[in-house]
Amino acid sequence: MRIEVIAPHGFCGGVDRAVRMAHELLDRVKGTVYGLHEIVHNESVVGALVSKGMVFVESVADVPEGAAILVSAHGTSPAVFEEAKRRGLTVVDATCPFVLAGHAKIRENFRNGMRTVIIGKPTHAEVKGYLGEEGACLPEDLRPGERTGRVVQTTLDADEYGGVCTATRDRQQAVRKFVESELLKGLSPSSVGVLVVGSPKSSNTGKLADIAERAGARSWRVAGTKDVLSIDFSGIEVLGVTSGASTPEDVFDDVLEGLSPLT
């Protein structure tokens, strides 16, 4: 089996920035530092921060008054920022600039008298944050004939929805291109595989696997190297390996090493 590393893959700029901000905050602040929602959907990144003393919470109400809190790359709603201010919390905002642009768009639409439909998973922190803006709504809340704007969760399929962040789009295009170029070489779809490294909770990781399948390949998701052992790669001649935007490079490298006996 031939192994091909698909590029770009792994940490995007927004995740890299948020993780760096979290470590800097932990180095700077004495006492417990809180993180609002898991900083990114990756157990090893979260685990490293927890072992340095970060406590992750789902609500600012769980943070003692006056403490420091980091808002994750997924962002949050204006009401949460207001509550944090009321409680005297020191807020470090690691919201990704692409997500901030989504919030700005919703506010602009509202100022122009328009509501904004949010396309995405309603339970995802990014989408919940958007829905906290005035004038944001879910598709099912639309009134017939209403003129609206649209903001798409940054990690959805760029081809299907458009408007997602460039990091997501570049990683998705690289997977599609890899599968298409292998099929063009004459390989059958059942002999082309894509292995996506990332947490089962990571939305963008799941999308990469869906895109590989839609392009005609077989695909698998693994959280780490031990998951590779349970996969039956029989019939696969070429395996592209990629990773989600929240997957650290050392986890990716471990998986590549785990695959080396199969080459």
By CB under 6 A, tell whether 119 contacts ligand SF4: no
d(CA 243, CA 8): 9
Encoded one letter per residue, x for contact with ligand SF4 by CB under 6 A and - for no contact, window 209-238 reads ------------------------------
- Partnered with residue 240 across adjacent β-strands are 4, 194
- Residue in the shown chain whose Cβ atom is closest to ligand SF4: 14
Buried b (16+ CB within 10 A) or exposed e, 237-252: ebbbbbbbbbbbeebb
CB neighbour list of residue 151: distance below 8 Å, 6 or more residues apart: 102, 105, 106, 116, 117, 118, 119, 130, 136, 163
Coil vs helix vs strand at 213? helix
- Pick between residue 8 and residue 135 the one whose CB is nearest to ligand SF4: 8
By CB under 6 A, tell whether 12 contacts ligand SF4: yes
Q: Which stretch binds ligand SF4 (CB under 6 A): 12-20, 52-60, 76-84, 229-237?
A: 12-20
By CB under 6 A, tell whether 167 contacts ligand SF4: yes
Question: Judging by beta carbons within 10 Å of its beta carbon (0-12, 13-18, 19+), is residue 99 exposed, middle or buried?
Answer: buried
- Pick between residue 46 and residue 239 the one whose CB is nearest to ligand SF4: 46
Active site residues per annotation: 126
- Pick between residue 76 and residue 154 the one whose CB is nearest to ligand SF4: 154
Coil vs helix vs strand at 44? helix
Q: Which stretch binds ligand SF4 (CB under 6 A): 28-36, 79-87, 92-100, 235-243?
A: 92-100
By CB under 6 A, tell whether 195 contacts ligand SF4: no
Question: Judging by beta carbons within 10 Å of its beta carbon (0-12, 13-18, 19+), is residue 219 exposed, middle or buried?
Answer: buried
By CB under 6 A, tell whether 70 contacts ligand SF4: no
- Partnered with residue 175 across adjacent β-strands are none
- Pick between residue 15 and residue 209 the one whose CB is nearest to ligand SF4: 15
Smallest separation, CB 157 to ligand SF4 (Å) = 13
